[in-house]
Amino acid sequence: MQSNRLGWILLSPTLVILFFFGVVPFFYVLWLAFHQWNPFAADPTVIYNGADNFRALVFDTGFLSSLGVTVAFVFFAVLSEVIIGYFLAQALLKDFPGRAIFRTIHTLPLIMAPIIVGSIWKLMTTPSIGIIPSLLHSWFGYDLNIGTSAVAAFTVTVVMDVWHWTPLVTLTLIAALVSLPTDPFEQAQIDGAGKRQIFWHITLPMIAPALLATVFIRLMDALRIVDEVLMLTGGGPGSATRYLGVHIFKEVFPKTNYGYGSAVSIIVLYLTIVSCWLLYVALIAPRNKKA
C-alpha cells in the first residue's frame, strides 16, 4: 500500500501536465468542432452549429485531396523509414572502421527542430542555389523544381521526412536487436535455416512489439506533419503537398475558421487511433492469442 501511494505521488506531476496539456485541449477542440467561431470578426460570438463542420468536410474537395496525399505520404515515408532503419540497425551492430562517427552523424537530424529541417531542405532544393538540383542536372540531366512539379514536391517531402526520422527507427531497432536472446538463432542455424527464414520466423516476430511501437510513433508524427512542409513547399504546388496538418493550419490561421479546423483535427485523431488499432490487431493480437 505504501509503495502504491509513493508511486502515485511520483506520477502526479506527469499526470497533472498530461491533464492540462492533453485532456483539457482535446475536450476544448471537441467542443469547438461543434461551433462556429471567428474571434477576429465584427461579432465574435460562438455559435453552436451541430455537426455542420463535419458535414462540410465530407464534401470539401480540399479536405479530400489533403486526405489522399496524406495517406500516400504516410505510406511511403513510414515504410521507407522502417526498411532503411532496419538495415542500418543491422549494419551498426557490426564492427567496422568509423562506426562510432557514422552513428553520431546519423543521429544528428534528430536534434534539429522541424522548422530547421524544412529550411535546410528549402535551401538544398532551390534551383538557383541548391546542391540537389545541381547534382541531379549534372548527373542525370534532370531539372528539379519543387515549385512547379507536383511529383517532385511530393517526393522531396517524403525524402526529407525519411532523412529526418530514420535515425529514430534505427536507434529503437538497435535496442530491440541487441536485447534478443542468441539461443533461438543458434538453434535455427544448427537446423539449417537460412537468413531469410531466420528473419521471418525468429527476428521479425521477436522485434514486432518494438517495431510496432516505432511505427505508431512515426505514423502519428507523419499524419500531423506541418512545419517542414510549410517551410519547404508551403503546401504546393497546388495541393500536391497540402497534407492534413497543413490543411488545418491554413484553415485555422489565414481563414480563422476555428470550428472547421477543429473538426478536421478530430478526424485526424480518429484516423490515427484507427490506423494504430488496425496495425495492432493485424500484427500483435494474433501472437497474443497463440501465446
pLDDT tens for each residue of the chain, 291 residues long: 556 788 788 888 899 999 998 899 999 999 999 988 877 777 777 788 888 999 988 888 989 999 999 999 999 999 999 999 999 999 988 888 888 888 888 889 999 999 999 999 999 999 888 999 999 999 999 999 999 999 999 999 999 999 999 999 999 999 999 998 888 888 888 888 888 888 888 888 889 888 999 999 999 999 989 999 999 999 989 889 999 999 999 988 888 888 999 999 999 999 999 988 888 887 766 666 655
Decide if 195 is inside a domain: yes
The predicted pLDDT at position 68 comes to 94
Residue type, 165: W
239 Cα distance to chain centroid = 19
CB 216 within 8 A of CB 152: no
Residue 167 domain flag: yes
pLDDT value of position 281:
83
CATH assignment at residue 206: 1.10.3720.10
Residue 187 covered by a domain: yes
Total length of the chain: 291
The answer to whether residue 55 sits within a structural domain is no
What's the 3-state SS for 116-181? HHHHHHHHHHCCCCCHHHHHHHHHHCCCCCCCCCHHHHHHHHHHHHHHHHHHHHHHHHHHHHHCCC
Residue 256: inside a domain, yes or no? yes
Q: What residues form DSSP beta bridges with 35?
A: 48
Q: Reduced to 3 states, what is the DSSP secondary structure of residue 36?
A: strand
- Residue 140 within any structural domain of the chain: yes
**Which domain does 79 fall in, by range?**
63-290
Residue 124 domain-assigned? yes
Q: How many CB atoms lie within 10 A of CB 186?
A: 10
Asked whether residue 53 is domain-assigned, the answer is no
Give the total number of structural domains in the chain: 1
Q: How far is CA 274 from CA 4, 224, 280, 281, in A?
A: 33, 15, 10, 10
Instruction: Determine the pLDDT at residue 287.
Output: 61
